[in-house]
Amino acid sequence: MPERLTLPVSARDHVRGPEDAPVTLVEYGDFQCPYCGAAYPVVADLQRRFGDRLRFVFRHFPLTNVHPQAQAAAEASEWAAAQGRFWELHDRLYETQKALTSEAHLLELAGGLGLDGASLARTLKDHLFFARVKEDFLAGIKAGVKGTPAFFLDGERHPGDAASLAAAIEEKLRGSPIGL
């Protein structure tokens, strides 16, 4: 199995940070995964620490066999993205992850963001964003992702956990023309 991204980062992705950042970090994540929940503040810290030198990309990899709300949460985040609010819902999902036990929580989060819960309920019922989430998932499979979170630095699989990312990013920056 490849240990590289097979789907290049593009305009289809959810991105925080400048396109020309010297380092790109891609996470394949699951909103209900406790390991992704633990990685969330680490990644947020990396974004603060490295600022414009880091571009962060989030892709969906819902492990529906162990996380029954993961697919709905991923689809809800895509619904929010269609309204320009992906990152707000992404953050709220991880910040309230332990409460993600039903669709009701997703509707509550949408309402808390001032979004139309009835629209989200219809979207989830009709699985309007299923194909978009599946595209991320299949790209993850092709890149060798088997579990979450899975991280890629500049297209290559990061072999460590979230805690070891800072050192790996620093190493990449030392080798970049912009440097540390």
Q: Which residues pair with 60 in a beta bridge?
A: 29
Provide the phi-psi class of 154: left if phi over 0, else alpha when psi is between -120 and 50, else beta: left
Check whether 172 has a pLDDT greater than 80: yes
Separation of alpha carbons 12 and 25, rounded Å: 16
Check whether 1 has a pLDDT greater than 50: no
14-174 domain in CATH 2.130.10.10? no
Nearest to 31 by CA among 8, 48, 14, 9: 14
Check whether 180 has a pLDDT greater than 80: no
Q: Are 36 and 94 in contact (CB under 8 A)?
A: yes
Where are the chain's structural domains? 14-174
| Average pLDDT, rounded, for the chain | 95
Separation of alpha carbons 106 and 149, rounded Å: 21
